[in-house]
Structure 1
């Protein structure tokens, strides 16, 4: 899907493409994932120090085990990502999980976050429930998820510990009447 967004800083029309990230994008995916973990350690369960040591096939496995969508700019540079997966266990297969949402600072406010969420929710549309978590201090992400109908169902106190500092997370969900 190609998305055109009006109202950029130069008042021109910006274009970006949202598509599934494939193994041909593996190096860019790894780079963006590590950037997200380095710049926002309180927003992700994975850590930069741990993941920077992982071999490339670790990231390839993430792409195989999840639907991971990327937002690419006019120069085909990966500027944002979101992952969605479902359990293969029959008792949990009705639940999809959103993970790894990240958009580079220069693309925030462009509409890319919304388009990434739309792509993830389209893949998860057959799920009865879509779940995600967001650190309680990330008000922009919370507002985005809320705008898509996600509701807070719990607060996970001290969900993450980063450099000895504990961070709480809101657990959010989107329930569908039609999910299977």
Structure 2
């Protein structure tokens, strides 16, 4: 049985975060808008700023090794501060299917308590990730055709959203707070 702890990544875990983020970008270039070639040239301070400005969570195994990451960015502009965006969701291959992805998503959504909408995008070919997001109540609202261009191939992205606050028309909660 795998036991994990999920917590916000701190600056003292910066090197581990950088390593896992670059691993994700290198191994799965069609799953992220960011590119390995670009991010591997970024200075350490770039990664530190992500940790400082966004909520970046890590999933750690029983030996305290970082096995997965997720970021959630909340807008600070007046017209968009009700929206947060999930980015960089990644779980190492040997940890997939263990429940770690659910724990990471739960932590990210709990950090989004001041927003009414959480958005994300996922490759249309990434069925396991889509199933995870749907299990939390995310719904498809559009397909971004040819969103990414990787090694001569275009990839579509499914745009999904989760409305956390009550729907003004029905006054029914769209998300009941039960994350598991």
TM-score, with length taken from structure 1: 0.91
Specify the alignment match of 1:134 in structure 2. 122
Report the count of equivalent residues: 167
Specify the alignment match of 2:50 in structure 1. 62
Equivalent-residue separation in structure 2 for 1:112 and 1:175 (angstroms): 23
* Runs of 4+ deviating beyond 3 Å: none
User: Any stretches of 5+ residues in structure 2 without a counterpart?
Assistant: 168-180
Q: Deviations over 1:113-159 (max 9, x none)?
A: 00000000001122110000000000000000001000000000000
| Superposition deviation, residue 15 in structure 1 | 1.0
Q: Does 1:15 align with 2:22?
A: no
Specify the alignment match of 2:68 in structure 1. 80
Q: Secondary structure of 1:91's match?
A: coil
Q: Does 1:173 align with 2:143?
A: no
Q: Does 1:115 align with 2:115?
A: no
Which residue, 94, 105, 112 being the options, matches 1:124?
112
Q: Secondary structure of 1:14's match?
A: coil
Which residue, 119, 127, 149 being the options, matches 1:161?
149
Equivalent-residue separation in structure 1 for 2:38 and 2:2 (angstroms): 36
Are 1:126 and 1:178, in contact at CA under 8 Å, matched by a contact in 2? no
Specify the alignment match of 2:89 in structure 1. 101
Q: Does 1:26 align with 2:10?
A: no
Q: Does 1:90 align with 2:85?
A: no
Are 1:86 and 1:93, in contact at CA under 8 Å, matched by a contact in 2? yes
Specify the alignment match of 2:41 in structure 1. 53
Which residue, 38, 46, 59 being the options, matches 1:71?
59
Q: Secondary structure of 1:71's match?
A: strand
